[in-house]
Every structure is written in C-alpha cells, then in structure tokens.
Structure 1
Amino acid sequence: MTGSRPRIKSEDMLFRKQHAAVPPRAERPRQAHVWTSVHQLLWIETLLKLTAGAALVLAPLTAIKVLGLPPSANAFWPRLLGGVLIGLAAATFLEGATERGRGLGMAGLILINTAGGTVLAFSAAFGGSAPTRRGRLAQWSIVVLLFVLSLFEIAYL
C-alpha cells in the first residue's frame, strides 16, 4: 500500500462501468414481440377504422344511406372523414406493429396528415372540390400545407 491510495467507492463503480463488457447493439438478443390484449385492441381498432374509412372514401353517399346517417348534399365531408379515418387506421397500425409502444407520435401524425391531404387532393382534382374559386384555393392551400407539414415531420423522425 505504499505509494498508492485506497480506492474510493465511486471511483471503483466508475471503473466497473467503463470496463464492463457490454455487447454492441447488433449482438444483443432481441426480445420476442409480446402479443398482449392491448395489441389485440389496436388491431381491432385498425380494422374498424380502415373499413369505415374505405367505405366513406369509395362510396360516401351509399355508406351514409346503408348506415342510416343523416343525408349529405354532396360527398365532400364524408370523403374527408374517410380519409382521416384511414390515416388514423394507419397510425394505429404503426403503433401496434412497433415494439416500443409510446403512442402515435410523429410517425402517426405523418400518416394522418398524408392520408387527409391525399383525400383532399383527389377530391379537388376529380370534381369534388368547393364550388367557388375561393373554396378551391382554400382546399388546395390546405393540401399543400398538410404535405409540407408532413415533410417537416419526416425530417424530424
């Protein structure tokens, strides 16, 4: 012990942390994806939202009549709702498919904005847009803003 000082407990712990044999991330064993009741609920929710959204996008007025919902003068609002439901279904699918399970987060927002913007764009491009020039301008502005917002969100993923 001559010439050396005794190790302090915190130094000993620091030494152990620095020299611990931790395998690289690629070599660590992966945990199996656990199928829980939460995952089952997410899959059921995904299927319900996707089915309802597809019906409202593909045949909005027929879907309204079949479901007994209040009639709509045109197909714009039901189609828009269908697009949002498809976006929510995609985000819910992503949540159930990942192992982390921290909520919809940025990736879910990207899917929702992209689906809503796509339905609005198709509606505007194929005759379901607003009847006035101001309405068409507003609709296309929202489409552009949703896609630009999605690009910014992709940059921060």
Structure 2
Amino acid sequence: MQQILWAEILFKAIGGAIMIFAPVTAIRLAGFARPVSSFGPRLLGAVFLGVGVGIWIGLQFPTARGAIGPAGLVPINLMAAGALSYHLILGSAAPSRRGKFVVILLTIAFLGFGFLEIAHV
C-alpha cells in the first residue's frame, strides 16, 4: 500500500509544483487551450501539491490527525477522473489531439489510483 501512496505523492506533488511555477507553459505543452489568467491553473496546482503533502504527512507521521489516507483519496481520484471523462464524452476536453491524449492519460491515472486504493482499503 505504501508504494501506491508514494506513487500518488509523486504524481500529485510534481504535477502541482509544475502547475504552480509554470502553469501557462505546462498547459501549452499539454495541448490545452491557453487560459485567460494563470490564477485557475495555479490554484489547481496548489490543491494538488497540498494533497500530496497531506499524503506524505500520513506516511511519515501515522498518528497525525488530519492526514489524507487511502480512504480519503478514493473520492478525490474518482471525482477527478469523472470530471475529466465528462469533458472527454462531451468532446470539450481539449482543442488538440495531444491535449485529448493527455486528458485520457490523466483519467486512466486517476481511475487507476482510485481503484487500487479501493482494493487496499
């Protein structure tokens, strides 16, 4: 179980840090539409980084209260996958093929983490 959580820490913390420090560049490289402001992507990056730190705190300090554990990560991952797949189904995920491919990969990653955590809870 700890390997899954460490993989999720890396996934969320690295993605969050990239979105905080280089949101417009990351969005352009991923093939998404350029945002009007970098506020939204930076806020999303801060949330992802915060989730990654919450998981890390739970692993490093098992008796800590308020840490995010596997049971709390299941709805986070499944809701993220649901939101991404909603836009894939409607055809509004991204303007380019590369962007749609990135959304598909992210959806699969979120579903994978969610189902792995369900299996270990």
Scaled by the length of structure 1, what TM-score is found? Answer: 0.40
1:99 CA drift (Å):
3.6
Match of 1:87 among 22, 42, 50: 50
Count of aligned pairs between the two proteins: 68
More contact order relative to length (CA 8 Å, sep ≥ 6): 2
Which residues of 2 match residues 1-157 of structure 1 at below 5 A?
A: 38-100=1-63, 105-108=65-68
What residue ranges of structure 1 are gaps of 5+ in the alignment? 1-37, 109-157
| Secondary structure of residue in 2 paired with 1:63 | helix
Q: Which runs of 4+ in 1 moved over 3 A?
A: none
SS across alignment from 2:66: helix
**Distance between the aligned counterparts of 1:59 and 1:73, measured in 2?**
15
Tell me how far 1:107 sits from its aligned partner.
4.4
CA deviations 1:70-92 (Å, max 9, x no partner) are 32111000000001111000001
Structure with the higher helix share, 1 or 2: 2
Gapped regions of structure 2 (runs ≥ 5): 69-121
Structure 1 vs Structure 2: percent identity of aligned residues?
34
Q: 1:105 Cα deviation (Å)?
A: 4.9
Q: Which amino acid aligns with 2:66?
A: M
Alpha-carbon RMSD across the aligned residues, in angstroms, is 1.9
